[in-house]
Homo-oligomer: A and B are copies of this chain.
Amino acid sequence: MQEAYKELKFRLAELSHIGAATSLMGWDQQVNMPPGGAEVRGKQMATLAKIGHEKFIDKKVGELLEQLKPMEEEKGYESVEGSVIRLTRRNYNKAVKVPPEFTARAQKAESESFDVWIKARPANDFKRVQPYLQTNFDLSKEYADFFPGYEHPLDPLIDGYEYGMKAAKIREIFSELRKELVPVVESILSQEPEYFSFMKKIFPGDQQIAFGESIIKEFGYDFNRGRQDMAPHPFTQGTSIGDVRITTRVHEDNFSSAMFSTFHEGGHAMYEQGCDTVFEGTPVRGGTSLGVHESQSRLWENVIGRSMPFWKHNYPRLKQHFPEQLADISLDKFYRGINRVERSLIRVEADEVTYNLHVMMRFAFECDVLDGKLAVEELPEAWKDRMESDIGIRPADDKDGVLQDIHWYSGIIGYFQCYTLGNIMCSQFYDAALKAHPEITDEIGQGKYDTLHNWLKEKIYQHGHRYTANELLKNITGDELTIKPYMNYIKTKYGELYDLL
């Protein structure tokens, strides 16, 4: 039995090394790769994906899993061995349904699509990337069909990001949230908007980066096991627990963009850096679901990073970096500026309140395209219409509309819901943290994050995939997924900011 487990671990380590190579190639593609490398890079990544897939679905893996059933039971659900075997089995049962040829084809298509999008977006040229997007949706449907019996074709895709979650459940919770959120959005947006001219001033890029990095270092991001680089789209990419990198991009006339993206990706990265090293080289490494992952990035970006206690402590420091730009700006004005709610076009720049409407729209479009209710070529107009009706602003072009997100153009479909699920779970987790350690709020006001970071590490980070999102929620909060803490957070914070109470 021990031999079989050792053999399984050896094979899993190999798979994780192949996965790490693909991760590094993907990171490099966005951070360093010269344009001439693009064509072959797609093929390289496709080959690695195919080899990884082939090695994983080797029938020897199935045999080992069969042999290891007694060990899994004996060691128990929460044990390291139990978790490794369970996770492997879960992934294996899915992977054997997908032909390696498909994996390679999809990987190649995604890589090519990404390369076209990178040029099509600045050129505002949806037509150019449309056939690639069509292919990506077609591949998603093809993938879903490897799992017949689904309620909705998006379900098998969602399952890869949010284990056990279904489109129907998301619809239900989104509709509940929408009902609560829309009146808040409406009453805020009906007010005369306050103007924050300092938000548009020029903030030198190097100072933006210096400030953001000094903050996430204090949060607990370990630069000895990571780094931050520039990329067109911020993301986190880990190749091992010892190497979890983040990216950002700088807009000198919008300082909040890089800063909050650094806090956000820092949150993702701390989650992956905090995994118990016993899970290195196994599928248990990483974050358990994208929703939980987002709960961690949003915690540091929004709940901490846009809070009054945080800025009470850090605003003087920010002013040292930008003495002229912030000279006449009071803490209170600054706080209102970084938390202003407005009609905006770009999801990643949207405020906390309208953000979820951006997400719901994307999720609805994915459902509709896969249902055949909406054609890919209709997306640009549908996008504009929905933005107008939901947020009250119509994009002038596709660059700030349907072309804005990297996801679909990288073949990532069935993913967007995680951002809103993350918001919801974030509030559930944070309420639990405050209940256990009411001193956290005061500590944040003193620039101390140890209590919170350690609590997160103990309750969430270290476990990797050991517990599902639902199990984590149950273990930590005693509750299922519920929007109450999140709506409470929104209503309290924005109720004060906009005198809604």
Q: Which residues of A contact B (CB under 8 A)?
A: 13-14, 17-18, 20-22, 24-25, 28, 32-41, 43-44, 46-48, 51, 222-227, 229, 239-243, 245, 280-281
Contact = CB atoms under 8 A, between A and B. Distances in A.
Instruction: Kindly list the 4 A-B residue pairs having the minimum CB-CB distance in the complex, ordered from nearest.
Output: A37-B243, A36-B225, A36-B242, A17-B47
Given A17-B44, A21-B24, 8 more contacts: A18-B48, A20-B40, A21-B21, A24-B28, A36-B240, A39-B240, A40-B241, A40-B242
Contact of A48 (B13, B17, B35, B239): B17
Contacts of A281: 40, 43
Contact of A24 (B18, B24, B39, B46): B24
Contacts of A51: 14, 18, 51
B34 A227 contact: yes
Contacts of A28: 24, 28
Nearest to A225: B36
Contacts of A48: 17-18, 21
16 contacts: A13-B43, A14-B51, A18-B51, A21-B24, A21-B25, A21-B44, A24-B24, A24-B28, A36-B222, A36-B225, A36-B226, A36-B240, A36-B241, A37-B243, A40-B280, A43-B281
From DSSP, what is the main secondary structure of chain A's interface residues?
A: helix
Nearest to A280: B40
Contacts of A41: 239-240, 243
B34 A225 contact: yes
A34 B226 contact: yes
Contact of A20 (B44, B229, B243): B44
Contacts of A24: 21, 24-25, 28
A239 B18 contact: no
Given A18-B51, A43-B13, A48-B21, A34 B239 contact: no
Contacts of A227: 32, 34
Contact of A239 (B44, B224, B242): B44
A115 to B, nearest CB: 12
A103 to B, nearest CB: 14
Nearest to A46: B17
Given A18-B48, A24-B28, A28-B24, A40 B224 contact: no
Nearest to A47: B17
Contacts of A34: 223-227, 242-243, 245
A33 B244 CA distance: 10
Contacts of A13: 43, 47
A269 to B, nearest CB: 11
